[in-house]
Structure 1
């Protein structure tokens, strides 16, 4: 990607935003080398890694990378046989410890996150080399800050113990001077160090009081720093131990340097991989903080950015826009006044495309797509003064001339104020010619302009569409919302009028304005108003849809919980039932065993009374509901105890009938007047016979008495419920004495209509049926005639 576009679109500022999330030198190096890529596989791989980092961040708060320095110079020194100092070995040790920690981290993560959710990182962590023995020895000997520990070697531990004891003896002896009668000869009652030896500050006039050696004196000469004769031998011993300590420390550093030298390549590889993990971690945290999402990659360069936001603008102030390019049109011409957001829209498209091709998530809503461009060219510059117009125009033309030499069908061109800086008529003509030249190469282009001539260009040219930035006439301020498909209109006279310019001047200006231009502006204003109404309605519907989806998810979740609870209760009941059965079988086996023992003991058949007692014991194992003491249940049971010849009331029809015979476990054949019907027990209740059956009475009621409508409307009723209603309705209509009825089932998919047709074919009481007349519902209703 050409470096000029990276500067123009402020790509470096995005990298600066990403930098604070890095903690390793290798990660910072990878960020410094980050560039947009034009290889589809590489772009997708980088996006996959960012997605992996986001998944780890969601589950674990990120990959636990420690702060790691650049160890490349250390490995080069080892290559030439040098000995590393404590600080350098500490940095190498930190890399090895982090390697071991990251390996364990991903092992634990694999147990929580399915391997399919992490696309690449599980494979990449396998390339780390842990070197456990080297890591343990280095960690034991060197602390993180490079300090050599006492455990580095037994010799070093012994030497440091001697040093500690000797220092204690020296301080003990010298405290006699600072706290005893000799303190009055000192300038200050303290113990200090000069030339690595313990001394006391003695007044110059008392120089010969303590003997020993003078190591230093104050600037005034009034104080001498003297090592007393009494501690000289101890200071000598301390110095010898300190020299021995330095020698042992140097030996340990050489030993550790020789230990890690054979693993230079592995350690360098580990550092690079950890730096890469740090970079992936940083990309994920950056995406989380800016609310970025993973875009899909379109090899056909069909760009669709949903609610795209510029990443360098305050999230509280930025206005999101939908930007589409490459699907229905290859060129967008954005017209409208200054300060409306045209330039920011160009930069947003270009910068998000660069970020996506760099493997970064971008600040857009889910479902967005980016293209893969070999080159992106941008000619975007701020407005300059009138005196600089010539140089500005020349600069723009030079940029465009260079674009035209390099563009192809995999390029994107962004041009701000195309043709500006010269005569308006010539500038508009030049802009049209340039757009035609770019379009001839199959290049996608987004251009902004002030020229009204380009509105007609965007309307007339194929694969080209007009766009503009919305302007609120009520507040005289831009809303920064992109309106695709609507050219921009001039608001100069409206603004002038609202700002207080005399009406006479505004009227004269209107009179000087071309009539066609006025009509065009009026048309554009009407389009903008209607579009706003549609978008407001869409937002309202979207909000309602979101609420419905949330409710659906909640109901689905609660239903699943209910099903789980139901399954659990059934399972528990089965366990209890099995326990009862097992217990009953055990008792039954005991009874049978007892009978066999009696039979074997007597050598004859068991007596009848014993068999009766055993059968009674077996019957007692059956669990019967306890209804004897519950009057309500006894009454309900008696009410449902049906017998042949009983008078019953069929609740669904409101008709009295007589039980003819039982048909199945819970159904009876019932005589209803001249009809015999199969009725479920749940739909009947016993009733007393009529008081005075002196004469025969018709059992078929009138339509008014039965309250049965001649029409049955089944629209919106589920199939099973509808078929049940049809069955009952036909019976009720027959009882009511109707010669014909109408069943309204609607058109829909035709399933209900077919089901009703099949049912009517099998009903013996139906004489004929046919669809209603066109003015009465057509094939959405069926008219039925009874025999």
Structure 2
């Protein structure tokens, strides 16, 4: 994961970029990283301070985006013709340059070093005046030249004569006109003539109405003016191009000056954006050192509300004093007999602000090394060769990484890159696995960081790690405080003291029964700890009545010898999906007889689907022989019922 994302520096960059005007400055902000050259860094910080002071005294500078200007310069360098719009953009940038020069010049009264950048800006008044006098509203004005003025006057005169002539023809030929006014068709002035009188008006038919009853005719007397105007338009176009090429050549002659103007505007935009950010976040200029000393006083997280954020004091690379707060030590004072704090192990309750604390320190440090001011009351920050961090669970299903695996992967990568000039932060060191093994790994990692002599901050819950920090030279404990009355963290960090997670206390206060807490405490610290613990909640675990699940009552399945279909039921037979009528109920094997299209078949009832029951189709005591038996069969059956007959009824197993 990108470190800028882990510590939220990318969000600072987003806020910072919104304060810039040029695309170049925004891009530079998005690529901002720690400056490793001390001279460059000190200059960047001075620029930030100077820009903030100038904004506070004179307001925001008149800056504008000059990306289009770069494209215009490329066109001018090729000796191509610039459009009126592009020339107006040149004029706008030159006006902006003049205003920026005036703004910077006013800063000289305060002896602000940035004010002297005005000497690198040139508003080229001659070119600006030429463009203003000849271009307006993305067009060449009439008085750009005497020739253009005369041509356009002639065009307007010819247009008026053409319209006057058309109106005269309409008045003199009212009877043949379909309307009393002329119209424009394909740029030509036409009179509306009734179809039956089209030969009454000499001229060319340009168009006709949708019904075809009206013809739009350009009279001969009008067409001569149109031809005159077309010739004048060609002259106008030539003159316009001559003026544009002349102005384009003037722009090409001053391309080096324009390029320098653009470069300075982009540079000043970047510088002033840092000053605006300093004001918006209420920052101060940090001191910079190369002696591995980091002292932050009243440091705030720049993305948190200043009114609710609790500032913290942190010291690294300084001598350890008795109260644990740290006493500043100069490079000359530090020697092998001096106990210098290189690492801080932060403990405390969950949501107590441990992660915010380590992010706050690294974020301010990185901001300072990018040439920005920091959100502290005072800050003395060392330059770091690299910033290394392990924050978040890092779980990645696509790479089959568990929380612990991701942590270990990040930690090993950090240990490969760490050196004495590094700054490292790690959150929940050793978490995500068996506590005993995780604790061992946490101690081993801390030992490696101690050997590297890097400055580092880590958070943990392991008591063994607290003991290690308490006994190891160069590492100190710190705790995030907790209000036992409100059960809320105070977000204050106290250096020199180990904290506790307060899990048992919180659980006890929130109502966990005594018997459960005893089991938990004994499992964590042994029987002795149970005897010394003062329980607040004496209640036992009581199960509350809860809603019951209503299950569907299961019905016994019918055996196969139960008849499901009755004679006369309308059914569908699969797989042919033919419609039939049950003529014999199912036997013990589940086989029934169905009449389909004049023939009867035996079929398993599993292949039959009921459509309509017999009682819905037929009246009670209905004689189904009407459906299933032939007329001859029914007559013979009737005769046999009342007298002796020689014929016999024969039933076929498949057909009747």
Q: TM-score, normalised by structure 1?
A: 0.58
Change (3 A) 1:353 1:240: farther
Q: 2:508 pairs with 482, 486, 497, which one?
A: 497
For the residues of structure 1 that align with 2:302 and 2:283, how far apart are their CA atoms?
Answer: 9
1:68·1:94 contact (CA, 8 Å) conserved in 2? no
**Structure 2 residue aligned with 1:338:** 350
1:138 and 2:131 are equivalent in the alignment: yes
2:347·2:501 contact (CA, 8 Å) conserved in 1? no
For the residues of structure 2 that align with 1:61 and 1:277, how far apart are their CA atoms?
Answer: 14
Change (3 A) 1:181 1:259: same
Change (3 A) 1:238 1:433: same
**Structure 2 residue aligned with 1:106:** 104
For the residues of structure 2 that align with 1:389 and 1:149, how far apart are their CA atoms?
Answer: 69
* SS of residue matched to 1:482: strand
Change (3 A) 1:163 1:299: farther
For the residues of structure 2 that align with 1:476 and 1:183, how far apart are their CA atoms?
Answer: 100
2:296·2:376 contact (CA, 8 Å) conserved in 1? yes
Larger relative contact order, structure 1 or 2 (CA cutoff 8 Å, min sep 6)? 2
Instruction: Count the aligned residue pairs.
Output: 511
Q: Deviations over 1:536-583 (max 9, x none)?
A: xxxxxxxxxxxxxxxxxxxxxxxxxxxxxxxxxxxxxxxxxxxxxxxx
1:176·1:182 contact (CA, 8 Å) conserved in 2? no
2:176·2:200 contact (CA, 8 Å) conserved in 1? no
**Structure 1 residue aligned with 2:374:** 362
2:25·2:267 contact (CA, 8 Å) conserved in 1? yes
- Unpaired runs of 5+ residues, structure 1, are 523-787
Q: 2:403 pairs with 392, 397, 402, which one?
A: 392
* SS of residue matched to 1:408: coil
Q: Deviations over 1:745-764 (max 9, x none)?
A: xxxxxxxxxxxxxxxxxxxx
Higher helix share: 1
* SS of residue matched to 2:384: coil
1:371 and 2:382 are equivalent in the alignment: yes
Q: Deviations over 1:330-365 (max 9, x none)?
A: 111112333222222222222222222222223333
**Structure 1 residue aligned with 2:152:** 160
* SS of residue matched to 2:402: helix
**Structure 1 residue aligned with 2:362:** 350
Per-residue deviation at 1:437?
Answer: 1.0
For the residues of structure 1 that align with 2:172 and 2:285, how far apart are their CA atoms?
Answer: 77
Per-residue deviation at 1:435?
Answer: 1.3
Per-residue deviation at 1:14?
Answer: 2.0
For the residues of structure 2 that align with 1:188 and 1:345, how far apart are their CA atoms?
Answer: 85
**Structure 1 residue aligned with 2:619:** none
**Structure 2 residue aligned with 1:439:** 450
Q: Deviations over 1:219-264 (max 9, x none)?
A: 7768766555554333333333333232222112211221122322
Which moved further from structure 2: 402-411 or 148-157?
148-157
Q: 2:252 pairs with 261, 285, 293, which one?
A: 261
For the residues of structure 2 that align with 1:406 and 1:266, how far apart are their CA atoms?
Answer: 46
For the residues of structure 1 that align with 2:229 and 2:527, how far apart are their CA atoms?
Answer: 103
For the residues of structure 2 that align with 1:183 and 1:454, how far apart are their CA atoms?
Answer: 110
* SS of residue matched to 1:312: coil
* SS of residue matched to 2:67: coil
**Structure 2 residue aligned with 1:24:** 22
Q: TM-score, normalised by structure 2?
A: 0.69
1:334·1:447 contact (CA, 8 Å) conserved in 2? yes
**Structure 1 residue aligned with 2:461:** 450
**Structure 2 residue aligned with 1:128:** 121
Q: Deviations over 1:49-98 (max 9, x none)?
A: 12222122111112112343332233233333322222222223323332
- Unpaired runs of 5+ residues, structure 2, are 320-340, 534-656
RMSD in angstroms over aligned alpha carbons?
Answer: 3.6
**Structure 2 residue aligned with 1:475:** 486
Q: Deviations over 1:378-410 (max 9, x none)?
A: 111247599999633222222222222222221
Map 1:720-739 → 2, pairs under 5 A = none
* SS of residue matched to 2:2: helix
1:25·1:70 contact (CA, 8 Å) conserved in 2? no
Which moved further from structure 2: 331-340 or 308-317?
308-317
Change (3 A) 1:332 1:251: same
For the residues of structure 1 that align with 2:393 and 2:12, how far apart are their CA atoms?
Answer: 20
1:302·1:369 contact (CA, 8 Å) conserved in 2? yes
